Structure 1
Amino acid sequence: MFTSSLTRYAQPVPRYTSYPTAPHFHGGIDGMCYARWLGETDPHKPVSLYLHVPFCDQLCWFCGCHTKQVRRYDPVADYLDALGAEIALAARILPGRRNVSAVHFGGGSPTVIEPDDIDSLRAKLDDAFDLDPDCEISVEIDPRNVDHDKLEAWHRFGITRASLGVQDFDPDVQRAINRRQSFEQTQAVVGALRKAGIGSINLDILYGLPLQTTETLRRTIDLAVSMRPNRIALFGYAHVPWVKKHQSLIDQDTLPGPAERFDMASDGAAQLAEAGYIALGIDHFADQDDNLAAAASDGRMRRNFQGYTTDDAETLIGFGASSIGRLPQGYVQNSVSAADYIRKVRAGELPTMRGFALSLSDRIIGRLIESLMCDFSFSISDLKRAFGAEVDSLLVEAAGIAALEGAIVSFDGDTFFVKPEGQPFVRTIASRFDRYLTRNKARHSAAV
């Protein structure tokens, strides 16, 4: 039964950080369309911001991000000039001066930025927006390329949450993914962040890496827990060498199989529960005092391109190469190439290369899938209150899916619920409602 369940439910499907997912974005959404959408947003509602830094000091072979290795700072400096110009351009288009409720820096590695440029970037944001006093400002940090001066600069910037990549502390696994990072190095950065007053710490761990075993993962989690981070994300490694060519440097024969991956995820979740962390969604764990745990308990946890979040702004503005924004009208994505991005911004253009305009049906299914990914359930009556009578068509569909997947889901005519034994496979259940999944040849990572 276990083997057949893995075969049935652990097939490659999207991660559902959006709906429709990014492979369905198209070039019909350009900078002019994006400018119109920005201009139509409600000037009285706050926005959230995502800033992408597509550079690293060293390229890790497991990485699935849009980034590249740089050995000189000049390309970073040129890029940051363009980033500041894009911020100013978008702010001029928005109706009114907007409040900002959340800011997230991702990459690549935002910690390649030098202290003076960190200060300059904060000044440019302050010129364009009003950051709320309680704005959550989170930054992804590579412990290998951050020092005292950079941490002080990020403290001046106002960050409230730091997310550190760990992946795995086992030396053999680290060599296999080209990322050497000791526990002591990571522990020192965590201590420095706390000393600087940045008390909210996230650690990211991967399972399914080459040469990794349940035992090596257990040791990594033990070491991570010893630092008592506020959150731990236990992600499944997505091996997609057809998208990220550098992943072909990983010996595929050393990757754990589906059953081993499932054991890693299950054992890791149990270990974190024993350590006092609350499971949130499919791969996040938080201590009971963390605001994400509170949001999950109250049904306020959301899911976007950064994963699980408390950010409930209806408009997320993405800045930088490859960044994705979400507006009430749909999704937009900037040019992936940093050079193309810089060229367009210097010409005074929004660097949008593609996107997706949402229909009412897209919004309904998007809310449904987000509810499944966050709460493992959705309610027909809740959807109907939000979207109206068109939701009625889901009654038959939900009943049909529940009849086919009755071993792991239930449906009582209103609430569709993924049973505990089915929750590791919720991405697969969500895919049953996906209207676009079979419309192109996009390939995805394994569901577990």
Structure 2
Amino acid sequence: MEFSDADLALIEKYQRPGPRYTSYPPANHFAEVSDLAPVLASTEESTAPLSLYFHLPFCETLCWFCGCHTITTLKRDRADDYLDLIEKELALFATHLKPDREVVQMHFGGGTPNFFTGAQLDRLGELIHRHFKFAYGAEVSVELDPRRLYEEHIAAFARMGATRASFGVQDCDPQVQKAIHREQPHEQNIAAMKLLRAHGFTSANIDLIYGLPLQNRDSFNRTLDAVLDLKPDRLAIFNYAHVPWMKPAQKLLERHPLPTPREKIGLLQLCITKLTGAGYEYIGLDHFALPDDELVIAQKCKTLQRNFQGYSTRAGVEICGFGISSISQAAGAYRQNVKDLETYRASLNADRLPIDRGYVLTKEDKLRSAVIMRLMCNLSLNFDELSDEWKIDFREHFADSLEQLKGPAEDGLIIWTRYGFEVTAIGRLFIRNLAMIFDAYFKPSPGKRYSSTV
């Protein structure tokens, strides 16, 4: 994709802070929870299959760009203590589930899941299987750090059924790596990929970030060449979110010049052109995948989903998160665990689930959530289908939103169709902006700051 001067003008016009819509409403609308019953009610009543998420927060060092909830330590015995707490949380949570609900998906995120030793991971696997029944062919995936990845880690995750892995590269340029406090020779990336393939992992995904200090088109082009040589099945190329008011360590990145908005746009253009030219499909936002990947197939079949773990092919599942800061997503409510370890410990020692914040969805929330997900996954909306599905007159119900879409339509971001509209190629860059039009809660304010949409 080559950006014309008109495209660049559009990017500057629509570049603004906005949610990523891994949920609707976004997590900053969650409220403090004192009574757990309302946020657990739909979980207790449900028979839907389960998607488990385990937040493993430990890292040996802090990457200065990181926006995740992490604990920096070199002490491996802290992982043993954390597993004791996970064991308590699993036992407490199991009492809220109907029997025989099957797990169809499981993901380990962090932090650094491979901070844990092979023996510690085996213990975690035993705890999980003690409380949950897994469906045949359940999808198990893990996030990995190639800098400290050994065969014992890959083997342990494989024993838990993992066949998918993603690992962060961010950038291959040594100067950029030093500036972001993540020095990672490319030989470590090559070794990580070999380990995954040797242990039967069928999907290996690489994460990059554009918008980091000292990045430019030439250096990032070399990074793309290096990771393409590894032949990943998917790539996630994230727009760096500079939010030092939330993550103070990011202030350290300001020691070096950050790319200007125009330079970031050039990096994004490079990514789209390079990866689509190499045969990858641009799914949307920041995700690319090979044509035979199930994400691409799901998007073409209009069955692609979006949740707190990003794009997914598993519809109708309930996401159950464990560990500090993890978020759970049931049919009728969201809930989030406490973010610090000692509060997590105190809650579990009091035999209380460590839920800190949550949100009970209204019927209108569920409708708008469905509309936003359909838009972000299908890159189109069919008003007639949504009218039939939700027993509404879509055009009347969303009259204000359709009025707001006139501007994007005039700018070429969408094309009106007989049944609704489709997002254009340039419009894909602004999918978050288009979703914001259907968000009844979105009001830009200093108290609720988001990353830039482009």
The interval holding the TM-score normalised by the smaller chain is: over 0.9
Aligned to 1:221: 224
Aligned to 2:3: none
Aligned to 2:425: 420
1:41-440 pair list within 5 angstroms: 41-42=46-47, 45-251=48-254, 254-389=257-392, 391-406=394-409, 407=411, 408-412=413-417, 414-438=419-443
Aligned length: 446
Give the alignment's TM-score, normalised by structure 1.
Answer: 0.96
Cα distance between partner residues in 2 of 1:404 and 1:117:
55
- Pair 1:447-2:453 in alignment: yes
Instruction: State which of 16, 37, 41 in structure 1 corresponds to 2:42.
Output: 37
Give the alignment's TM-score, normalised by structure 2.
Answer: 0.94
3-state SS in 1 of match to 2:451? coil
Q: 1:54 deviation in Å?
A: 1.3
Deviations 1:118-159 (A, max 9, x none): 111111111111111201100000011111222221121210
The answer to whether the Cα contact below 8 Å between 1:30 and 1:354 also exists between their aligned partners in 2 is no
Cα distance between partner residues in 2 of 1:252 and 1:410:
44
The answer to whether the Cα contact below 8 Å between 1:399 and 1:411 also exists between their aligned partners in 2 is no
Q: 1:32 deviation in Å?
A: 3.3
Q: Which amino acid aligns with 2:415?
A: S
Q: Which amino acid aligns with 2:330?
A: L
- Pair 1:7-2:12 in alignment: yes
The answer to whether the Cα contact below 8 Å between 1:213 and 1:256 also exists between their aligned partners in 2 is yes
Q: Which amino acid aligns with 2:171?
A: D
Cα 1:208–1:239 change in 2 (3 A) is: same
Cα distance between partner residues in 1 of 2:43 and 2:349:
20
> Which stretch has the larger CA shift, 374-383 or 193-202?
374-383
The answer to whether the Cα contact below 8 Å between 2:163 and 2:202 also exists between their aligned partners in 1 is yes
Q: 1:90 deviation in Å?
A: 1.3
Q: 1:182 deviation in Å?
A: 1.0
Runs ≥4 in structure 1, deviation > 6 angstroms? none
Cα distance between partner residues in 2 of 1:424 and 1:215:
22
Cα distance between partner residues in 2 of 1:30 and 1:225:
50
The unaligned stretches of length 5 or more in structure 2 are 1-5
RMSD: 1.7
Deviations 1:256-294 (A, max 9, x none): 111111111121111011111111122111112221121
Deviations 1:149-173 (A, max 9, x none): 2222112121010111010000011
The unaligned stretches of length 5 or more in structure 1 are none
The answer to whether the Cα contact below 8 Å between 1:399 and 1:413 also exists between their aligned partners in 2 is no
The answer to whether the Cα contact below 8 Å between 2:319 and 2:328 also exists between their aligned partners in 1 is yes
Cα distance between partner residues in 2 of 1:392 and 1:268:
37
